[in-house]
Amino acid sequence: MDPAVLRDDMVASLEHETKALVRSDDVSQALRTVPRHEFVPADADRGAYLDQSFDHRGTRVLSPSTVAKLLEALDVEDDDSVLVVGAGVGYTPAVLAAMVGERNVHAVDITRTVVYDARRNLESAGYGGVFVDCRDGADGLPEYAPFDRILVEAAAVEPPRALVEQLASDGRLVMPLGGREQRLAAVERETPNDVEGSSDVGVAPDARVVERFGSVAFAPLLVEGEQSGAIERNRTAREDREYAERHAQTRRGWEHEWIDWDGR
């Protein structure tokens, strides 16, 4: 079947669901334009336009409904400069490029192989002008700041300070906030001068949550050493294992010579 027809069906289902995940014309048109089959694993090609996600090289190809939720929350406008933290396979940056133009979209990912895949997918889909680089997402992309919009496709307890500082004065950052329980949130900059009576000129801005969009479940924002292909990807798993190994080597009560079992 014609991919364009499949895309129309996919978006129509997202527009008419109970929660109406696609509400704006811009998001609807962009999702109908970008060939999602260019971004899914080859063996999942038939399911490219179903509302499902895929695993690929240690990253997650987000489902169309999740992408729609993120983009509706991001609320981009024409010619906005956008940073995507967590380039993944490149699908979300491509949809954003269809909305604001390729040259206005920048994406970073901490995993080098994922960056290569994203670049290749974007080129194949006709969005080769999107800038994709290998960076620690928490550091953002200061050379191209400020950004009107920043989208983080990974969770953290609070927004990374560097990303907040890279927002334009009227910018908006959208990301999942929380640990095990996460909620998608929109964040804006708040400087001390925004507070009545403050005179701390030049102090770095803080994040202010301005809107929440319900529960989500995203992988945590990775740091150096945790990316796919690194020696250890998950520091929590590593620390748990190291603790277990140390604990296994400790002496039990019956092994301690100072315990006088016969005298008790």
Residues acting as catalytic residues: 63
Which one, of 165, 202, 217, 203, lies nearest residue 187 by Cα?
165
Q: Give SS3 for 66.
A: helix
For the chain, the maximum distance between any two Cα atoms, rounded to a whole number of angstroms, is: 85
CB 138 within 8 A of CB 147: no
What letter does residue 138 receive in the DSSP assignment? Answer: G
Task: Name the DSSP letter for residue 220.
Answer: B
The tokens of 32 are what? Answer: 């109908």
User: Pairing mode, if any, of strands 147-152 and 82-85?
Assistant: parallel
Please, are residues 61 and 102 in contact by the beta-carbon 8 Å criterion? no
Cα(219)–Cα(98) distance, integer angstroms = 26
Alpha-carbon distance 231 to 166, whole Å?
31
